[in-house]
A and B are shown apart, each in its own frame.
Chain A
Amino acid sequence: MADVDPLVVDDRDLMRLLDTVFTEYSYDFRQYAHASLKRRVTQAITRLGFADCESLRQGMRASGTVFTQLLRFLTVHVSDMFRDADYFRAFREQVVPALATYPSTKLWVAGCSNGEEVYSLAIILREERLLERTTIYATDIDPECLMAAEAGLYPIDRIALFSENYIRSGGQTSLSDYYTTGYGNAVFDKTLRQNVVFADHSLATDTVFAEVHAVSCRNVLIYFNADLQKHALKLFDDAIVRRGFLGLGSRETLRFSDHARTYAEIPGGQRWYRKL
């Protein structure tokens, strides 16, 4: 191994690393898409100042802090509020009216990252007067992300983009109705998260926790390999009520999955699917 470029992570190194992550920290990345993981591990090795993959592994084994740092690299947390405005418009116009027929509804945001999507959905639900009746489960595998999501605090320079997206998604007022600014940050109205349960949940290892009326899981499946994608979709399918909804990222699709026939894509719905 000494002869090769230490920054080139091969499959064997990666698997060893992931096995260790799993046995030591119970995070299961073994079924994530390897191409992407390799890039991120390479990045982690450089940034965290390790010589190669093996030393990173040893370091991580020895110290939980190293793992926490590594975890930030292994997972990709990036999103904007109302990102892909059409998706949220479809949610407002197509999904919400159907959800309104239930006396109370549950929504699962799987892979909630730093909470941008959660707040986006909550704002729409508030505007459609459904938020009081809704419980949102916001789950992610990274506890730090969950904390960030729960805080609802975003740098003020991102808010401009959020506002643009909000308008394009069919927002009814101004996004500024929902946040207050100070010290270079914008903090979102905490009543928006009154009915939000932030919880640590892994699509790879954990099971269904509740029956939900809609699942929104965007840009999460892209990091999974085919088996894990299948497993995650099965979880969603188990959780979603009959005639419930599933929303995916712009590059994700049910078309080639086992569920292609049991879900119908909402026309013009921008990756919103409805269970048949």
Chain B
Amino acid sequence: MSNTSLSRRLSALLATPTVLLVLSSIVLYLQIERMNDDGAWVEHSERVLARANDAMVKMVEQQNATRGYALTRDPGLIDTYNQMHPEELVDELAKLVANSDAQAQRVADWRKAFAAWSTWRGPITEVKIPTTEEELEKEKLGRSLMMLTRQRYAQLVAAERLLRDQRVVTARESILVAKRTFFALMLGLAAVIAFITRRHVLGIARDYGQALDGVHAANAKLEDQDWINNGLLRVAEVSQGELSVEELSTKVIGVLAQLTGAATGAFYVTEGDSSRCSGVYAMAFSDTPARFRTGEGLIGSVVRDRRQAVLRELPSGYLRLRSGVGELDPVTVVVQPMVVAGGVFAVAELGFLGPVRDRVLKLTQLASESIAVNVRSAEYRQRLSELLVETQRQAEELQAQQEELRVSNEELEERERSLRDVHDQMAGQQASLEERNEILAEQRAELMRSQELLTQRSREIAQASRYKSEFLANMSHELRTPLNSALILAKLLADNKPGNLNPEQVKFAETISGAGNDLLTLINDILDLSKIEAGKLDVKPAPTPVATVASSIERLFAPVAKSKKVHFSVRLEVPQATTLETDPQRLEQILRNLLANAFKFTDQGEVEVVIGAAESGVTFAVRDTGIGIAPEAHQLIFDAFKQADGTTSRKYGGTGLGLSISRDLARMMGGDVTLQSEVGKGSTFTLTLPRIYTGQRSAPVLEAQRPAATTTPVRRRSGDSAPQAPRVAGPELGFVDDRGKTHEHHRLVLVVEDDVAFAKVLYDTAHEQGFACVCATTAEEGLTLARDLAPTAIILDVNLPDDSGLTVLERMKRQPETRHVPIHVVSAHDHVHTALELGAVGYAIKPIVGSDLTGLFSKLETQFAGRLRRVMVVEDDAVQRDSIRHLLQSEGVEIVGIGSGREALERLRSEPFDCIVLDLKLPDASGFELLETMASDTAYAFPPVIVYTGRALSNEEEQQLRRYSSSIIVKGARSPERLLDEVTLFLHQVEARLPAERQRMLRDARDREAIFEGKRVLVVEDDVRSVFALSSVLEPKGATVEIARNGREALAALAAGPAPDLVLMDMMMPEMDGITAIKEIRAQKQHAKLPIIALTAKAMRDDRDRCIAAGANDYMAKPIDVDKLLSLTRVWMRRG
């Protein structure tokens, strides 16, 4: 509109001067034309004058020529005369003045006059000088004629001059007129243009102003439109995806409130004739009515009217809005129905703290349709999903019916078949049945008889065996008494003090003495064996330092070695101070037996005793370089009396009872004797004894008597009575730190600082930084806490009352449990270099200001947050190693490939790893050995291990590996996928698992209970998960857990060792189930009182009854409830 006006105005503005100019140009042109005409007439006159003059001149020339000729008769003058044609000029002139009659007349007159003269004169040749009067007279006429001609010429010229002057005046006048016209025109033009331009420019200015206003308005409108569009886009964005009605409601109301700046909002979906609140923003569901009927309340009426409602300037208290800082009153409420296809699908209510802008209303209005569509879709989806579930249900029902039909069908067929069969067989069977019945009755009677006989026999045998043992015990005693006298007397004889026996007699006496001694040994052995078998032998445990044992046997056998010229040594691989809680006499007896054997069968080479550490005890390995034992005889030699049959004994003598007694003794003391041997290369008998004898007949075992596992004082338990450096009491902390609450935190800082005030500052800062904090005031306490709590970081003071912080630092870095923990040192003195060299992550010199503290914490934080995850891959094949590396490589993970067990151990000693992938086949050691070494020595870190093996594992191997590794992967087509899976899991779980581990450590320390301490629990269970659960509950309490994987193994375990204090028996197991196992155990007399708790996945009363009937003492349902398990165990555990 304004555009056309503007262009019209602009064209008018341009056109007006153009038109005016054209007009004035025309006027001026016409004027100039006139001026030109006037000028032409002046020129015309000049030309007429010039012609007239020329003609006059020629006339005069002719006259003169005539005269001259007359005088001179010069013929040249005739030519001159002939050349002059004044008449022609006059004719021309006549043409020129043809426009003016007066002048034409004059020219004609002039011509006539000249013609008269010409006629008068005649031809030139006849002209003569007047000599006569007549001639003079004639001459006079000629002269007057000429005069007339001249006169006529003068008249013409005068008239023409007059004319010319008139014409000049006219021309001048027309120029003047032109000038005036020009000026007048210009002035008029300027005035007109000025006027018109002014009008138009004003108009344009007005139009332009109007246009600008329009543009501003349009811009604002655009901006609003843009905002609305963005808002619509956001609403559309959040409504995307397959959301449920509730999710959609919450999202939509949230985004609407955020977009519009509403303080609160609620979203209702319509259901039938009511609306249900399905989402809220910044208010609680309870703050808003859950449901409105259509037409009821504001929401209801909006649903009915399908129109937006806006309530402005609401009274205070219409709706209270709670925020964190107080309560507010919305003043404006907008209620928007969401309508699509004529139906209201939802209503949004928005509350504002101030007035609302129109665009807000518009946005809610515009968004409403798409929201309605989305709500409708969500409802459809929900409905669809319900229908699908229903369809699924119907499909299932159909399938069920089909199955039932099949059953009926099969039943019918079966019935028909059997009916036919039965019919056929009935007759025949009848007879044979009766016959068979009789035979059966007979057989049964027979069976009963033989059974009775058998029972009696076995009773008799058992009794005979007991009689035998008792008889032997008595008998050998009776035998020994007389034998002793015989021996003493023989000895006296052999000594030959009086010197009255000849050498032969002495030799006889010595033979008697030797034979007697052999006999005595045999009797002793028989006695021991029968005592053991009769259960009469007691174990009397006492603290037994291994060093004493070593020196005693060394002393005992050194002479034998010397006499046999065999090298003999005793080597201690355990710390000197190691002490066993066992029966020293029995121990020595076993060792004596083993050594006597060794020396007996060794003629050259050496015999060596190596005392080493085993998993929970001490081993005594007696190694010789003697004749060795064939593999098939390995088991045989331990059986009593067996050896007497072999040829060996005939050559080497001996009763053959020694080994059998040794093994029985060892087992009585909770240990065992094992053999490794090869014919011709010697044998190694290994006696393994637990550190603490836990047999039921032993005296109560005290924690205090337990020896320290290693000599490092750091590892000592606080309850140990072993000598300690005098404890230095640190200052009282004076505030409560996070001890005991630590399991609630993933991030824990340990502060070791004796300046309590500064410790408090650190404690507070730690809290600010989101760490939990525990404070220790002495070095000793710091070390203990560091080990027990496994903090994420440590802040360590150098000046501590009992020890230097630097020593603490060094010790922490040496312990595998604390090695990885970042330690920050603070001190009043400068030990920066030493501390950093020892492995501190940072050093701060006191006094420390606030910002330094924050820096210190963030430094610690980065240490454990952004740390590289390190995975060790132990695999001897370089190609495999590389492929595993490629498989596992990812950002933030460092893969360390290692080819040998030795190198792996070295690295584990010095570097932290998060996870190990281990191949079992290594060039220098098997994976099993590697794992055992890692487990046996605390100098090695023991991260989670994933065993990645190419070979199938036996059950025993798997069981053995399970102790160290929870994931074992057998290489195959799908194994890389699983390896990746497991490693990823470990790396991600490292942090997640830490708190639980820490929790367990804390529990470990507190939860040891006397009733569990030193008790042995046999867990019979094939499920690894349950085994782990049970052990993780029982072991921290101080009990030892033994594992059998099925009933058969349980029976074997019971047969092999001393009875456990409690058996936890799973019911569902392969090979032999729990019920059978319990029955079998109860069938053995010695286990009649063994407490057995049945574990079952079954939960019905009769299941329990079945367990109890089988002989279980109690019963527990899976999954295992820790508290219940503990109370049950407390109830049933054998009291020590």
The judgment on whether A and B are partners is yes
B629 at the A interface (CB under 8 A)? no
- A31 at the B interface (CB under 8 A): no
Q: With contacts A197-B1070, A209-B1097 known, is A101 near B404, CB below 8 A?
A: no
Q: A36-B400, A251-B395, A253-B392 are in contact. Are A209 and B1118 (CB under 8 A)?
A: yes
Contact B968 A103, beta carbon cutoff 8 Å: yes
In the complex, A8→B166 CA distance in Å? 148
> What 7 A-B pairs come out closest when comparing CB atoms?
A209-B1097, A26-B1100, A210-B1023, A222-B396, A251-B399, A211-B1025, A103-B953
Return the chain A residue nearest B1025 by Cβ: A211
Q: Does B388 contact A (CB under 8 A)?
A: yes
Segment at the B interface, from A54-62, A118-126, A242-250: A242-250
A77 beta carbon closer than 8 Å to chain B:
yes
Chain B residues whose C-beta falls within 8 Å of the C-beta of A43 in the assembled complex: 408
What CA separation (Å) do A238 and B1120 show in the bound complex?
13
A243 vs B385: C-alpha distance when bound (angstroms): 28
- Assuming the contacts A206-B1099, A251-B395, asked whether A36 and B401 have C-beta atoms less than 8 A apart, the reply is yes
Residues in B with CB closer than 8 Å to A221 are 396
**From residue B999, how far is it (CB to closest CB) to chain A in Å?**
22
State whether A207 touches B968 (Cβ < 8 A). no
- Shortest C-beta distance, A217 to chain B (Å), equals 13
* A100 adjacent to B974 (CB under 8 Å): yes
- Shortest distance between the CB of B1116 and any CB in chain A (Å): 11
Residue of A with least CB distance to B404: A76
Number of residue pairs spanning A and B whose beta carbons lie under 8 angstroms apart: 140
Question: A189-223: which have CB < 8 Å to B?
Answer: 195-197, 199-202, 205-211, 219, 221-223
A208:B958 contact, CB within 8 angstroms: no
A270 sits at the interface (CB 8 A)? no
Interface, chain B (partner A; CB < 8 A) = 385, 388-389, 392-393, 395-401, 403-404, 406-408, 410, 417, 949, 952-953, 955, 957-958, 961, 968-975, 977-978, 981, 985, 1022-1026, 1066-1070, 1073, 1096-1103, 1117-1119
Which B residues are in CB contact (< 8 Å) with A243? 978, 981
With contacts A97-B972, A102-B968 known, is A135 near B1022, CB below 8 A?
yes
Q: Determine if A230 is an interface residue (Cβ-Cβ < 8 Å).
A: no
Considering the chains assembled together, what is the distance between the CA atoms of A250 and B977 in angstroms? 28
**Contacting pair A209 B407 (CB below 8 A):** no
Q: Is the CB of A101 within 8 A of B396?
A: no
| With known contacts A33-B396, A33-B400, A197-B1068, A104–B958 Cβ distance under 8 A | yes
The 20 sampled A-B contact pairs (Cβ below 8 Å) are: A26-B1100, A26-B1101, A33-B396, A39-B401, A39-B404, A76-B400, A97-B973, A101-B970, A102-B970, A103-B953, A133-B952, A201-B1068, A206-B1099, A206-B1100, A209-B1096, A210-B1026, A226-B393, A253-B392, A256-B385, A256-B392
Q: Is A137 part of the contact surface with B, judged by Cβ < 8 Å?
A: yes
Enumerate A103-147 residues with CB–CB distance to B below 8 Å.
103-104, 106, 133, 135, 137
A252 at the binding interface (Cβ < 8 Å): yes
A77 pairs with B952, CB closer than 8 A = no
The A127-182 residues at the B interface (CB cut-off 8 A) are 133, 135, 137, 155
> Does A206 contact B1097, Cβ atoms closer than 8 Å?
yes
Nearest-neighbour CB distance to chain A for B895, whole angstroms, equals 20
Q: Take A98-B978, A101-B972, A133-B952 as given contacts and tell me if A35 and B1024 are in contact as well, using a CB distance cutoff of 8 Å.
A: no
Asked whether A78 is an interface residue with its Cβ less than 8 Å from the other chain, the reply is: yes
Question: Within 8 Å CB of B1100, what residues of A?
Answer: 26, 202, 205-206
A205: chain B residues at CB < 8 Å are 1098-1100
Closest to A133 in B: B952
A40 at the interface (CB under 8 A from B): yes
Q: Which residues of A contact B975 (CB under 8 A)?
A: 101
Alpha-carbon gap, A243 to B967, bound state (A)? 13
Nearest chain A residue, comparing its CB with the CB of B1069 = A197
- A26: chain B residues at CB < 8 Å are 1100-1103
Complex: how many Å from CA A96 to CA B408? Answer: 35
Instruction: State the CA gap A97–B403 with chains docked (Å).
Output: 32
Contact B978 A210 (CB under 8 A): no
Interchain nearest-CB distance for A195 vs B (Å): 6
Complex-state Cα separation, A68 to B970, whole angstroms: 46
The smallest C-beta distance from A173 to any residue of chain B, in angstroms, reads 22
Complex alpha-carbon distance, A10 and B790, angstroms: 64
- Chain A nearest Cβ from B966, distance in angstroms: 11
What B residues does A40 contact at CB under 8 A? Answer: 404
Which residues from chain A contact B1067 at a C-beta distance below 8 Å? 199, 209
Report yes or no: B398 in contact with A251, Cβ–Cβ below 8 A. Answer: yes
Instruction: Return chain A residues, CB-CB under 8 Å to B1118.
Output: 207-209
In the complex the two chains form, is A256's CB within 8 Å of B1023's CB?
no
Q: Known A76-B400, A207-B1117, A207-B1119; judge A137-B974 contact (CB<8 A).
A: no
Q: Please, how many angstroms separate the alpha-carbon atoms of A249 and B402 in the complex?
A: 13
A135 to B1068, CA, bound (A): 11
Extra pairs beyond A36-B400, A103-B949, A106-B1023 (5, CB < 8 Å): A197-B1068, A207-B1097, A210-B1023, A210-B1025, A256-B385
Whether, in the assembled complex, A16 has its beta carbon less than 8 Å from a beta carbon of chain B, the answer is no
Known: A104-B958, A205-B1099, A210-B1023. A98 touches B974 (CB 8 A): yes
Distance of A238 Cα from B1099 Cα, bound (Å) = 17
A30 to chain B, nearest CB (A): 14
Contact B1024 A211 (CB under 8 A): yes
Give the CA-CA distance A210 to B575 in the complex, in Å. 43
Q: For B1099, give its contact among A103, A207, A250, A251 (CB under 8 Å).
A: A207
B970 & A135 in contact (Cβ 8 Å cutoff): no
B-contact 0/1 string along A220-242, CB 8 Å cutoff: 01110010000000000010001
How close is A184's CB to chain B, nearest CB, in angstroms? Answer: 9
Interface centre among A195, A200, A210, A250, by most chain B C-beta atoms within 10 angstroms, is A210
A133 and B1097 CA atoms in complex are apart in Å by 23
